[in-house]
Structure 1
Amino acid sequence: MRLSADDRSSRSYRGTAKPAPREEPRRNKSTKGGGGGRRRGRRRRSLLGMLAYWMLVLGVWCAIGLGGLIAYHAAQLPPINQLTVPKRPPNIAILAADGSLLANRGETGGRTITIGEVPPYLPKAFVAIEDKRFYEHFGIDPIGITRAVVTNLRGRGGMQGGSTLTQQLAKNLFLTQERTASRKIQEAILALWLEQTYSKDQILELYLNRVYFGSGAYGVEAAAQRYFNKSARSVTIAEAAMLAGLVQAPSRLAPNRNPELAEARAKLVIAAMAEQGFISQASAKTALVAPAEAAERVGAGSVNYAADYVMDVLDDFIGAVEGDVTVLTTIDTKLQSSAETILVDSLAAQGAKQGISQGAVVSMAPDGALRALIGGRDYTKSQFNRATAAKRQPGSSFKPFVYLTAIERGLTPDTIRDDSPVSIKGWQPENNTRTYRGPITLQTAFAHSINTIAVKLNQEVTPKEVVRTAQRLGITSALQANPSLALGTSEVTPIELTSAYATFANGGQSVLPYVIREVKTTTGKVLYARKGNGFGLVIQPQPLSMMDAMFHETMTSGTGSKVNLAGWEVGGKSGTTQDFRDAWFVGFTSKLVTAVWLGNDDNSAMKRVYGSGLPAEIWGKYMKTAHVGMQPSPLPGGLWHGAPRSIFDGAPVAGGQPPASTQTADSDRAWVPPAPQERNFLERLFGG
């Protein structure tokens, strides 16, 4: 049976109410097409809703991704609860005897300094140019980042960074300098930690002590010393602005390399400081009118030799350095500068002509306190310290140890010895003049550096005894006990030869050279303070008086007569080695003992340079300058003036009888050798 359309409709809705017939919407003739507009509006709202929805979804996923990214990079860092600011490498500030800074040693180049120590405008200069919202943000500055991005997109004013001072500190403390997204994320995490852990002033203080300023200077104190030769506590507004501007590009903006760029950058800093109210307009104008200038670097020259020597011996006194320390030395800045200038100028004027490339000067007080230490001609070209480390043959400047050994065994300056040819197992040393004077006194032989007499005395007293005498006076280098020892063929360093001569200048007391007086921490705790010196008397008064008389004769009529100091009791001795490889002059007064060495590092020969020549000239110029304003004073041991003549009693000299031709003249004995006594510490130590 076929159903009608109504019947099919009724069956389809069986059990439910039949829906009412749909009515056609009424159209308002006055709003033609109004229904279509509403449909389009609903579609627009639907599209906006969908867009908002998907943006929300995208934002959620971005947040999740960012959170995961942050979590991943945070996991690469140490646990936050274990995070600590790395300890700053210690600085060793080396001071001259007057307290002025000679040099800084250590990785940072300067000591730690607090905000309270520096002028208020110094830290504010960094805030003004690097992070003007420093006191407002929480370690990351969204406003600053946005501003930097906009500026960079516009391409105006050069590329800008959005890193805060806190982020820069985080990078310096914990991270490398690589430019990667990973590092920037870790930098931001660490910046937030720093802000939660430290106050703003503490963060700024850490920053000022850790940021790099170029030329090996880490921290504002090191930079101030490096570029302006002054402490950060004393910088002007102009200098503070130049330092603050420098951190953006230390190598490019260094005032000693690119003063124009450094000054231009400093002007921007000054303007920013004035704009933000950190300094007055008047102060800004003053700073702009008188810009900062990099000073000539103090410490670029010879003081570094002294500073290096301090570092060589510092461990012996305080061990490992755990924090910043200050080392007070014995170095006199005026004497150091004078010695350097005279040596360098002399070599510049005569070095090339005479075949001399290097030199060294050691000057000390008679108690061993180093006043000047010049280890070479130019520290920037060679850091090898010839004053303390170069072992060179001393030539005739070693002869005093031979003569002292002989005098301690009964001879006097008036003792006669024969200047004549000598041959020892085929070795035939000659005098410089290759002539012979015949019988002469020891004093004359010493003053004119007669080789044959020194060699004969060395044989009389035995080379082994001469070695013991030299060691007793402070020579620590290995000495060969052979006939040529008398002519200074065993190598020594300038500093040990100077300290040995100091014994003749101080009344016969043992001398241990020293350069450190005191070591303190920055809080004032004394880690070391010098007490005492040496091992007591090592030359008895009578032999000392005789030796000083012979030294003095050298300066009045011998090889040192051209450089004698008027009004002073002066002793000295020249030294020249075979083929003119080394030339020395060592001399002393009651106030100062100084040695000058000239030669070549490769041990090549100079052009007939004698110790009585250019070395003596340098010694004389320096000593005259050093003694200006001092009241002349005699040598502590006094000068022996001879004794009544008597007939030689025939007593043998250690090492054998004097030559038969001179026995009748050996009667000038002014004293009797003391009876053997218990050996002192040095004699036991060195086998004397």
Structure 2
Amino acid sequence: MVNTRRTNGAGGGKGYTPVAARNKAKAKPKKPRGPRRAAAPKRGLFRRIGGFFSWLIWLAVSRGAIALALVSGITIWNFMSGIPELEDLLDSRTRGSVTIMDRNGEVFAWRGKQFGGSITTDTVAPVLRDAVVATEDKRFYRHLGVSPRGIASAMRINMREGRPPLSGHGGSTITQQVAKLICMGVPYDKDIWDSERAYEADCRESSMWRKLKEMHYAVAMELKFTKDEILTIYLNRAFLGAGAHGFEAAAQRYFGRSAAEVNAPQAAMLAGLLVAPTRYAPTNNLERSQDRAATVLKLMHEQGYITDADRATAAAAPATLSQAAEARAGGYFADWVMGRGPDFLTRDTTEDVVVKTTYDQRIQTAAEEGLQAVLDAKLKEGSKAQAAIVIMSADGAVRAMVGGRQFKGVSGGFNRAVQAKRQTGSAFKPFVYATALDLGWRFDDFVDDSPLTIDIPGSGPWTPKNYTRDFRGPVSLTEALIWSLNIPAIRVSEAVGRGMVRTVAESFGIESDLASGPALALGTSEASLLEMTGAYAGILNGGSSVRPYGLVDLRFLGEQSPLMTQTGGLGERVISPQAAQQLIYMMHQVVETGTGGRAKLDGWQVAGKTGTTNSARDAWFLGFSADYVAGIWMGYDDNTPLSGVTGGGLPAEIWQEVMTRVHAGLPPRTLPMLTPAQLPRDVPTAVSSPGRPNQGLGNAIENVLDSIFGAPRR
């Protein structure tokens, strides 16, 4: 069959245009080929020039990279060869620590750079290890010391927050932080740096050059140590606030337990300290530290270290401080006892030292709470009046000390119980009567309370007055002390001799310079509260001097044999036991019927004496039971007069509140005193005093007394 369509197409029949013809008709005319052949050489030239420069760039980059890698490798190798051994990196403190224990052997204070002992990733609680990694470097076990992703992320955050790229978030891995902690192997040299603080600041420098060195050092550490060894260094070296270096010291400091025993909430709180140890220290702000711990628990949960149930349990029972850490007590006492030993074993020790003391945490708490209760109730809001307390046993063992109204967490503050020297006022009068009683006087002997003028060479006549501005005529020594009368105290002092009064007071432990004029009897001299309390302890123990002490023994950490010990503070006899027992009776009457009435303790016999200085700049109450001696001082640091406060007022009330708490649960004991019924008139009066021969009350003394008193003695 003939294909007429193809035949027609081929033959160009009428009405039909072949396909080739149609395509040809549609095609556009081509441009001449001449110009295209002329452009080809130019493109080739550009291509060759571009290739040449690309080759140069590649050559520069590749060779630069090789050179940089070579330099980095040499740097890393040099760093690695100089890195100390693992054992030498766990504790490089230049100063040691002092652990201070109470009378029961429990730790209550720390000083210096505390290190709890070496720990490893195997010995710490696994949850603590996980908390540290989750918080500080979640890719720790996957990188080679440096995390480019972490650095880039930190730089982006810093710039977004308006800081320079390297200021603020550092993006440092745990290995880099360890490099910084050990100052990249550069030890502290006191000949180079002015102080350890300057050395540490230099180690924390964050310049670009320092960051590069830190990265190289971190890689060197990764090549020298295993991951667990690097983490071990970190766990031992990290500063965690409150003087604690390393997680073992911090766990002991805050929770009273080892880092091997901490639970999830405690581990989270410790790990949370790494970002800002002082700010987040639970002893500074427990709630803030707990909030930070909650963030750590969240990170641990997100990274799979704890389950939903674990996180919920930890969040429901956040970590709290141990009793000792929560109390934050004993700061004044700890500072004081640090000065009792040699500096090279306390303040400037390069060793770890343990000090056992006389401190009693129960009594300290009673002192702080009792003081706070009275001041909260009686002082106006915003008052800057200060107060101090010392409590000790009769042998001088100091059990508690409050050096000011701020007593929580105090370290290095002004201790008014020890450092403040203030006029003692009438609190000094017991030493006047102690002198007379030791010379043969009796508590019921009479002295004349009538106007008195004494001519003082160089100053002229001096006419003292009583606080009440009136006179009572003949009064017994007991009555004179009960009502704190000035004139009788001066008459007795002048009769027995100011020198004798000074000797007795100094022998009892008043170390401050004592006045030489007749106003000595009125307490115009200055003394510290610690001195005065120790002197009153001498009265309680029967008339022997007392040296207040707080240090029982001192030894190196881990050693059994002490380097120094203290077994008691009793010294030489100052007045006779009989004189001391009469004086105790007189001071007991001060509380029972006199100016110290607000200091009475229900069910207990107590004795004491009030003291108020001119213009009420100082107010005192010192006294004792058969078990404890306590001294209270109140005043302003700038000597501003107290408003409406005398020794028989707020100080006596504080004494009563504090001693009530101190004696809670103790069986009452009677005071070692002689009562009128126990001291008949025919008791021999011959006594002895230190540095003086035995003496009685001879005719010569009788004549002097009669001439001064102007009244017969009973």
* TM-score bracket, shorter-length normalisation: 0.7 to 0.9
Match of 1:666 in 2: 713
Match of 2:164 in 1: none
1:168 and 2:196 equivalent?
Answer: no
CA drift of 1:96 comes to 2.9
Given candidates 182, 185, 190, the residue that maps to 2:217 is 190
Q: Structure 2: where are the runs of 5+ without partners?
A: 1-42, 162-167, 184-201, 456-460, 686-695
Change (3 A) 1:544 1:289: closer
Match of 1:430 in 2: 465
CA drift of 1:93 comes to 2.6
Change (3 A) 1:344 1:221: farther
Match of 1:507 in 2: 542
1:92 and 2:127 equivalent?
Answer: no
State how far apart, in whole Å, the 2-side matches of 1:354 and 1:124 are: 47
Match of 1:61 in 2: 64
Match of 1:657 in 2: 704
SS at match of 2:553: strand
1:578-625 deviations in whole A, cap 9, x for unaligned?
111111110011210001111111112112322111111111111111
1:406-431 deviations in whole A, cap 9, x for unaligned?
11112111211111111111111111
**TM-score, length of structure 2 as denominator length:** 0.76
1:506-562 deviations in whole A, cap 9, x for unaligned?
233321111222333332453433234332433322212221221222222222234
SS at match of 1:616: helix
1:456 and 2:465 equivalent?
Answer: no
Match of 1:474 in 2: 509
CA drift of 1:241 comes to 2.0
Given candidates 634, 640, 661, the residue that maps to 2:670 is 634
State how far apart, in whole Å, the 2-side matches of 1:445 and 1:252 are: 57
State how far apart, in whole Å, the 1-side matches of 2:683 and 2:546 are: 36
Change (3 A) 1:421 1:301: farther
Change (3 A) 1:176 1:68: same
SS at match of 2:585: helix
State how far apart, in whole Å, the 1-side matches of 2:331 and 2:684 are: 58
1:49-99 deviations in whole A, cap 9, x for unaligned?
996786355333333245447868999x89927896472242323333334
Structure 1 range deviating more: 160-169 or 642-651: 642-651
Given candidates 638, 644, 657, the residue that maps to 1:602 is 638
Change (3 A) 1:78 1:280: closer
Given candidates 385, 392, 414, the residue that maps to 1:384 is 414
SS at match of 1:360: strand
Given candidates 571, 579, 585, the residue that maps to 2:615 is 579
Change (3 A) 1:546 1:197: farther
State how far apart, in whole Å, the 1-side matches of 2:55 and 2:324 are: 65
CA drift of 1:573 comes to 0.8
Residue identity over aligned pairs, in percent, reads 37
State how far apart, in whole Å, the 2-side matches of 1:558 and 1:296 are: 41
State how far apart, in whole Å, the 2-side matches of 1:311 and 1:252 are: 26
Given candidates 643, 647, 655, the residue that maps to 2:680 is 643
SS at match of 1:535: strand
1:517 and 2:547 equivalent?
Answer: no
Aligned residues of 2:80 and 2:217 also touching (Cα < 8 A): no
Amino acid at match of 1:491: E
Aligned residues of 2:80 and 2:223 also touching (Cα < 8 A): no
CA drift of 1:112 comes to 4.6
State how far apart, in whole Å, the 2-side matches of 1:354 and 1:457 are: 43
Matches within 5 A, 1:346-365: 346-352=374-380, 357-365=385-393
Structure 1 range deviating more: 440-449 or 393-402: 440-449
Amino acid at match of 2:704: Q
Matches within 5 A, 1:317-336: 318=345, 320-336=348-364
Matches within 5 A, 1:71-150: 80=82, 85=89, 87-88=92-93, 89-106=95-112, 108=113, 111-112=116-117, 114-115=119-120, 118-132=124-138, 134=140, 140-141=145-146, 144-146=147-149, 149=152
Match of 1:179 in 2: 206
**TM-score, length of structure 1 as denominator length:** 0.78
1:202-233 deviations in whole A, cap 9, x for unaligned?
53333123324457654335655776677645
CA drift of 1:451 comes to 0.9
Match of 1:270 in 2: 300
Aligned residues of 1:253 and 1:261 also touching (Cα < 8 A): no
SS at match of 1:624: helix
SS at match of 1:313: coil
CA drift of 1:393 comes to 0.7
SS at match of 1:412: coil
Change (3 A) 1:521 1:193: farther
SS at match of 2:570: coil
Given candidates 546, 553, 557, the residue that maps to 2:589 is 553
Given candidates 563, 569, 574, the residue that maps to 2:599 is 563
1:427-448 deviations in whole A, cap 9, x for unaligned?
1111112221211211211222
SS at match of 2:387: strand
Amino acid at match of 2:372: V
Structure 1 range deviating more: 352-361 or 544-553: 352-361
Change (3 A) 1:440 1:119: same
Match of 2:333 in 1: 306
Match of 1:590 in 2: 626
Aligned residues of 1:507 and 1:635 also touching (Cα < 8 A): no
Change (3 A) 1:92 1:409: same
Aligned residues of 1:393 and 1:488 also touching (Cα < 8 A): yes
Give the total of aligned pairs: 620
Match of 1:338 in 2: 366
SS at match of 2:621: strand
Amino acid at match of 2:589: E
> What value does the CA root-mean-square deviation take over the aligned residues?
4.2
1:239 and 2:266 equivalent?
Answer: yes
Aligned residues of 2:482 and 2:594 also touching (Cα < 8 A): yes
SS at match of 1:644: coil
CA drift of 1:192 comes to 4.5
Match of 1:203 in 2: 230
Match of 1:28 in 2: none
Change (3 A) 1:327 1:201: farther
Change (3 A) 1:70 1:370: farther
Change (3 A) 1:621 1:100: same
Amino acid at match of 1:164: T
Structure 1 range deviating more: 181-190 or 406-415: 181-190
Aligned residues of 1:506 and 1:635 also touching (Cα < 8 A): no
Change (3 A) 1:556 1:78: farther
Amino acid at match of 2:133: V
Amino acid at match of 1:357: A
State how far apart, in whole Å, the 1-side matches of 2:259 and 2:699 are: 71
CA drift of 1:403 comes to 0.8
Change (3 A) 1:217 1:482: same
State how far apart, in whole Å, the 2-side matches of 1:87 and 1:655 are: 73
1:315 and 2:342 equivalent?
Answer: yes
State how far apart, in whole Å, the 2-side matches of 1:330 and 1:74 are: 55
State how far apart, in whole Å, the 1-side matches of 2:326 and 2:610 are: 31
Match of 1:489 in 2: 524
Amino acid at match of 1:543: A
Amino acid at match of 2:111: R
Match of 2:570 in 1: 534
Amino acid at match of 1:181: M
Change (3 A) 1:332 1:531: closer
CA drift of 1:301 comes to 6.2
Q: Structure 1: where are the runs of 5+ without partners?
A: 1-39, 668-688
Aligned residues of 1:259 and 1:293 also touching (Cα < 8 A): no
Match of 1:445 in 2: 480
